[in-house]
Structure 1
Amino acid sequence: MKTMHIGTTLMALLLAGPALASDGSPLRMANGVLVDAKGMTVYTYDKDASAAGKSACVEMCARNWPPVPAGDMRMEAPYSTITRDDGSKQLAHEGKPLYTFIKDKKEGDRTGDGVGGVWHVVTDAKKK
């Protein structure tokens, strides 16, 4: 029984490993931009005030620009979490909430960069 429990724990760790970057974040750099655990490009929104702890992208906006979920993971700078109006946790980078874009269909897509002049890919996610 003990062997099965250890094996199950080991398997869970192996499966979770690729979802986390080497710094413990569920985000990583790929081809010069920040991506989520699925490899999808991550964006910031100019209407979000840095370090305000709040997202300006709600309702229809959030359907088109899904927030990057934070779950219960404790983040280290430059990453943090904000609490959305619905109580869910969203990842932030340098205080700016992070989003993906519904029109990005595969890894490497950056179709949201520059949309409306207010959406931007995160290109410098190095720890400071």
Structure 2
Amino acid sequence: METKSASTLGSILVDDKGNTLYLFLADTKNKSNCTGACAKAWPPLLTKGTAKVGNGVDKKLLGTTKRSGGNEQVTYNGHPLYYYVNDKKPGQANGQALNQFGAEWYVLNTKGDKVEG
């Protein structure tokens, strides 16, 4: 995970390939509430072992949480992280501020806070 400067959103979290990562406002600290159809539209960022950080990411904010199926999902500042199925290439943020599956979705800044805009 690292940061990428997006012209309209500022520096946001992305994976090692430049794909945008999101938080879900229906989640609670270190607990995903996105399963089933939600997880198909918003695939979780999973890891085996320790998640790794790149440029601009605060290692102290990085963690994992166990999903209901037993997989480990990467968290940042307590927020489980997700991709958006309609982001087809690195740098896209088509899921920004969408209201789906009962709450809104946002990209995160380097402090692990939602970015509005």
Same fold (TM over 0.5): yes
- Whether 2:27 is the aligned partner of 1:44: answer no
Question: In the alignment, what sits opposite 2:82?
Answer: 99
The 2-side partners of 1:125 and 1:59 are apart by 29
More RCO (CA 8 Å, sep 6+)? 2
- Amino acid in structure 1 at the alignment position of 2:104: V
Equivalent residue of 2:106, what SS? strand
Question: In the alignment, what sits opposite 1:90?
Answer: 73
5+ residue gaps, structure 2, are 6-10, 53-58, 113-117
The 2-side partners of 1:29 and 1:47 are apart by 24
> What is the deviation of 1:78?
0.3
What whole-Å deviation, never above 9, does each CA across 1:12-62 have from its counterpart, x for those lacking one?
xxxxxxxxxxxxxxx000111100122100000000012xx3210000000
Q: Structure 1 residues 29 and 45 mapped into 2: Cα distance closer, same or farther (>3 Å)?
A: same
The 1-side partners of 2:24 and 2:64 are apart by 15
Q: CA RMSD in A?
A: 1.6
Going by fraction, where is strand more abundant, 1 or 2? 2
**Runs ≥4 residues deviating over 4 A:** none
Q: Which of 25, 32, 44 is the aligned partner of 1:55?
A: 32
Q: Structure 1 residues 77 and 44 mapped into 2: Cα distance closer, same or farther (>3 Å)?
A: same
Kept in 2: contact 1:81–1:89 (CA 8 A): yes
Question: In the alignment, what sits opposite 2:4?
Answer: 30
Going by fraction, where is helix more abundant, 1 or 2? 1
Question: Mean Cα displacement is larger for which, 66-75 or 91-100?
Answer: 66-75
Number of residue pairs matched? Answer: 98
> What is the deviation of 1:71?
1.3
User: What TM-score, normalized by structure 1, do the two folds share?
Assistant: 0.71
> What is the deviation of 1:73?
1.1
- Amino acid in structure 1 at the alignment position of 2:44: P
Q: Which of 41, 45, 57 is the aligned partner of 1:68?
A: 45
